[in-house]
Each structure stands twice: as C-alpha cells, then as structure tokens.
Amino acid sequence: MKKAISIAVVVLMLALSMVSAFALVSPEEQKIVDALKAGVTVNGQTVTLPADYINQAENYLINNDVDITAENAAAIIAKIDNAKAVIVEKGITNLDKNIPSDVKDQLVAIAEEAAKVENLKVTVSGDKSQITIVDNNGNQVFRWEENKTLPPTGAENVDMSAAFAIIAAFATVVVAAAFVAKKVKA
Amino acid sequence: MSIKHKGYDRKSFIILPIVFLIIGFLLIFFVVKPIVAPFLEYADLILLDSEMDYDKEFDDIFVPIVDIEEPLPPDDKEDPDVNAEPPDVNVEPPPTQPDTIPLSSITYPKFGTKYAQIRIPECYISTYLYFGDSTKILKLGAGQSTSSFIPGYGGTILAGAHNNTYFHNFKYIKEGQKIYIDTSYGQYVYTVTETKIIKSSQTKELRLDSDKEILVLYTCYPFDELGLTNKRFVVYADYTSGPIIDHSA
C-alpha cells in the first residue's frame, strides 16, 4: 500500500512538472512580459520598448521548451529594471535608433547578464547595429536591429543580376582603359 | 616623371575609369536592364534548376487538419483569370473545429519551423509558412516575423514572401478576398481589408502592437522588380474565423 501511494505521488509530481513543458506563459514568465511592457519616463516622455521586441520575448517564453523558475524570473526582471535605469539616466527616448555607443555597451552588458540566467548567448555585430540572442541549439530567440527594415522580398534573382552588373562593370572599365590607352598613344 | 605627366596619369587611370563606370552602370540600369531582365529570368531557370535543399535544415510540424492541396512549386505559378469564378475552396471551417483551444495543446513553432500553409485561392497563391524570415526561409516559402504571433493567439501575424515566386500574384489581391492559414491545430480565415505601399523602413505600418488579431502580409514592390527595392506592398486582413487560443489553459 505504501509503495502504491509513493508511486502515485511520484507520478503526480511528474505530471505537475510536465505541465509547464507545454506551450504556456506561466505567471512568472508573464511577470517578465509585464516588466518589458511597462514604460519609463524620460524627460517627461513615456518611453516603451517597441512591440516588435516585446513580442519576440513573449514568443520565446511561450515556447514548449522554456520553463523559467520564479528565482530566474526575478533575476531577469532585476536586469530589466537595471536597463530601464540606464535609459532614464542617459535620456534615451528612442530604442530603435541613434542610441549612443557607450549606452549600447551598457545595455548589452546587462542583456548578457540576463541571458546567462537562461543559458542564452548574446552576439553583437561589429558596428553594434544588430544584437542577436540564441539558445543552446543556436536557434535565434531575439534580434534587435538599428533602423530595422522589412527583409528584402524581391531579390530572388539577384544572383544573376549581380553577375550581370559585375560583368557590365568590367566591360565598362575595359572600354575606359582602351579609350585612355588610345589617347596616351596619340 | 613631370608633375603634369603625373596629373595626367591620375586622371587617365583613376578618375576617368571611375566616371566611365558610374555612367556606364547608370545607362545599363535604366536603359538595358528592362530589355535584358527576361533573359536573366530564363538564365536562372537553366542555371538554378537544381532543387535547393534548405528544407532539410528546418523542422516540419505541419499536418493540416483538413485535406488541402500541397502548394505548387513557384515556377508553376499561374496568373488567375480575374473574370472567372473563384476556384472551389473550403470556405466553411471544418466541422470538428472547436471555438477555443488551450495554448498548452499546441506545439509552438521555433525559428525555422514549417508550421502552416497560406492560401489565397482567388489569387492562386498557396505556399508553406515558416516561423522566421531568414534569407534561406524566404527561398522556401513565406517567412513569418518572430515579432508576431501564431494564428489564433490574438495578436498580429506578420509574414512576407518573394514577389517573383510565392507572392507573385499579390498584384491581383483585393479587399474582401479570403486568406486561409491552415495549421496543425486549426484552419484560420482572414478577410482582406486594405492594401498599401510603404517603405521598408516604415515598420510602424506593420501594426505589431495591434490589440486584436490581424494578418499582415508583404512583398517587394513593384511586383516585377528584379533586384533590391525599398518599397513593400502590404496586405492587411482581419481575423474572420478559427479557434481562439486560450492563453491560460
């Protein structure tokens, strides 16, 4: 009987722990989303994170494989508050562009600390115009881009167009060189 | 070598070639390109006719809940007869479809996952939908921005595809037409409300902060433009039917 009860308890605990493995935003994860959505006041103006980035974070948290503990959620929220403090201190009113380089460095450092909590990796492009966060499997979970634009969706044949442009450029240079050579000879 | 000769060398061998290059490229772009463009397309068909196997890199969780035809390869795209009756489509939701489904019952797509199929029957558009919009994904079908949500979630669904393949027939899209997104957890229908031409930098026009479910599709504009353009043709569509996802369950 005791054995049956203990087995039942183990099964119940397993079932409870597996619930959070399915797609869901837990109360702890919801707190993270709420923290991201809450704006800050900078020089009398309310500054909020663009929906683009909040949605990316929410999509990551919804994911089946993501299950953030209360402790980790609190740590991440603390980092979000640190980032907000930097934004207020430095008077940043636009989080899409024109962020000074030193502020970017500070925010990236905070992001790296937050990412470490969930074993995520932050990479920054050489010109600091793109910041990408990936998980252990290399899957992109977040991407910030300065002066973000929609991806190009009309360059399917650009391979041949580019080749043609290069060939045409060479042909032009050859013609120009021949012209110059003729002049020099004259 | 005299100073005059040096100056002549610089002009002849550096400045003149650069000037010729710029003038030549402008001439080619504006005058020759429209004439050569069709031949470039044919060249692509010949030179790039081997199937790209990026598909193996991406997960596939798409199992439609109703029988639908697989998308045709992009080279087999048809131009619709705008005067004809629209093709026969599944216009009613499948009878077994619930009004709501728990979020916990859905396998949420990750970046690079093929998880749905988009169909716009009146424009003869049908393509798979991937979560993520990388260059590789856009060669395989429509790519959804990870800044947007899945159908039924209650937010904006934002996806794009190339104008000369999967969304080639966007030129025939009109208000009132239906857009179907078939997923493994339900069939969703959206009704086109508006189309617009925007610059690729006008990201606020994508309505990612919408408080109701909308579908936003885009492709490069003009539709027959080869090469890069900074304009996008955007289609907005309101949610019409499909299971609502219960976030709390």
* Domain match, B45 and B146 both: no
Please name the residues in contact with A60: beta carbons below 8 A apart, sequence gap of 6 or more.
A66, A141, A142
Task: Kindly report which listed range (A162-171, B23-32, B84-93) carries the lowest average pLDDT score.
Answer: B84-93
Asked if B64 and B184 count as a contact pair (C-beta separation under 8 A), the reply is yes
Given an 8 Å threshold on Cβ–Cβ distance, is B21 in contact with A173?
yes
Domain count, chain B: 2
CA distance A150 to chain B (A): 5
Residue type, B55: D
- Residue A86: burial class (beta carbons within 10 Å; 0-12, 13-18, 19+): middle
Residue B232 has pLDDT above 80, yes or no: yes
Given an 8 Å threshold on Cβ–Cβ distance, is B149 in contact with A59?
yes
Would you place residue B54 in the very low, low, confident or very high pLDDT band (cuts 50, 70, 90)?
very low
pLDDT at B81: 62
Q: Does B217 touch chain A (CB under 8 A)?
A: no
Residue position matching structure tokens 């050859």 = A174
Residue B107 has pLDDT above 60, yes or no: yes
Q: Does B126 touch chain A (CB under 8 A)?
A: no
Q: Which of A30, A52, A132, A150 to mutate to test the interface with B (most CBs of B within 10 A)?
A: A150
CA distance A140 to chain B (A): 6
Token duo for residue B148: 């947007």
Q: List per-residue pLDDT tens for chain A, 186 residues long.
A: 655 554 444 444 444 444 434 567 788 999 999 999 998 999 898 999 999 999 999 999 988 778 889 999 999 999 999 999 999 999 999 888 889 999 999 999 999 999 999 999 999 998 889 999 998 888 888 999 888 888 888 754 444 555 556 666 667 667 767 777 777 766
Nearest CA in chain B to A174: B17
3-state secondary structure of B217: strand
ipTM score for this prediction? 0.72
CA distance B35 to chain A (A): 13
Residue B124 has pLDDT above 70, yes or no: yes
* Domain match, B163 and B203 both: yes
* Domain match, B81 and B147 both: yes
Residues of A in contact with B142 (CB under 8 A): none
**Nearest to B114, CA basis, from B71, B175, B176:** B71
Nearest CA in chain A to B154: A55
A23, A58, A151 ranked by CB distance to B104: nearest: A23
Q: Does B160 touch chain A (CB under 8 A)?
A: yes
* Domain match, B37 and B79 both: no
Interfacial B residues in 229-248 facing A (CB < 8 Å): 229-230, 232, 247
* Domain match, B43 and B81 both: no
* Domain match, B152 and B59 both: yes
Which domain range does residue B15 map to? Answer: 1-50
Q: Which of A157, A161, A183 to mutate to test the interface with B (most CBs of B within 10 A)?
A: A157
Question: What pTM does this model have?
Answer: 0.75
Residue B78 has pLDDT above 90, yes or no: no
* Domain match, B72 and B116 both: yes
Please name the residues in contact with B139: beta carbons below 8 A apart, sequence gap of 6 or more.
A156, B52, B54, B162
pLDDT at A182: 78
Residues of A in contact with B21 (CB under 8 A): 169, 172-173, 176
pLDDT at A152: 80
* Domain match, B82 and B197 both: yes
Task: Write out pLDDT tens, residues B127-144.
Answer: 999 999 988 999 999 999
pLDDT at B20: 82
**B33 against A100, higher pLDDT:** A100
Given an 8 Å threshold on Cβ–Cβ distance, is B25 in contact with A169?
yes
Would you place residue B82 in the very low, low, confident or very high pLDDT band (cuts 50, 70, 90)?
low
* Domain match, B35 and B63 both: no
Residue position matching structure tokens 């429509």 = B142
pLDDT at B51: 43
* Domain match, B46 and B127 both: no
* Domain match, B27 and B60 both: no
* Domain match, B108 and B90 both: yes
Asked if B123 and B173 count as a contact pair (C-beta separation under 8 A), the reply is yes
Rounded mean pLDDT, B237-248: 93
Q: Does B186 touch chain A (CB under 8 A)?
A: no
CA distance B175 to chain A (A): 22
pLDDT at A17: 41
d(CA B73, CA B50): 13
**A92 against B54, higher pLDDT:** A92
- Domain ranges in chain A are 25-164
Rounded mean pLDDT, B213-238: 89
CATH for B182: 2.40.260.10
pLDDT at B49: 44
pLDDT, averaged across chain B = 82
Token duo for residue A120: 């995520």
B12, B132, B226 ranked by CB distance to A161: nearest: B226
Given an 8 Å threshold on Cβ–Cβ distance, is A179 in contact with B47?
no
